């Protein structure tokens, strides 16, 4: 069975992803190496995949007219937009909380100074 390593370029279909596989070929005349790429449709096999994920696909029986591969392993997950948004929101909240703490300290210092002036 053939296996290929590629990057998920489209995950908009149900239970199917488009995986782009790059390979290097020598030019017959010039001898220079250049990159060729091809897209393969692959069954997700129950994995949660998104664009940019690096996966290993393995050949299997034809599942549809164009789909003859299935994802067998996820090599590397790409960062998800939802994850990035939640991390950014958490960082902003932490900064806001830090500013609130500093403002409270400043107010308490001012209040203590006013109290000391009032008692004196």
pLDDT value for 56: 97
Q: What percent of the chain has pLDDT over 70?
A: 71
Please report, for residues 73, 110, 111, 120, the alpha-carbon distance to residue 115 in angstroms, rounded to integers and kept in the order given. 67, 9, 6, 9
Q: What is the pTM of this model?
A: 0.67
Domain borders along the chain are 3-76, 79-120
pLDDT of 17 higher than 70: yes
Please tell me the least confidently modeled range out of 45-49, 58-62, 112-116: 112-116
Q: Higher confidence at residue 50 or residue 92?
A: 50
Which of the given ranges, 33-42, 91-100, 104-113, has the highest pLDDT on average? 33-42
pLDDT of 119 higher than 70: no
Q: Higher confidence at residue 112 or residue 15?
A: 15
Please give the Cα distance from 59 to 61 (Å, whole number): 7
Domain 3-76 has CATH 2.40.50.140: yes
């Amino acid at each position: 069975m053939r296996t290929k390593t590629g990057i998920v370029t489209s995950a908009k279909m149900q239970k199917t992803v488009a995986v782009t596989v790059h390979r290097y070929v020598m030019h017959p005349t010039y001898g220079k190496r250049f990159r060729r790429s091809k897209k393969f449709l692959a069954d997700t096999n129950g994995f949660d995949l998104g664009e940019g994920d690096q996966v290993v696909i393995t050949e299997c029986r034809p599942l549809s007219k164009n789909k003859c591969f299935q994802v067998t392993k996820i090599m590397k997950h790409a960062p998800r937009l939802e994850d990035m948004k939640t991390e950014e929101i958490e960082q902003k909240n932490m900064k806001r909380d830090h500013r609130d703490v500093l403002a409270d300290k400043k107010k308490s210092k001012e209040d203590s100074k006013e109290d000391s002036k009032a008692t004196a």
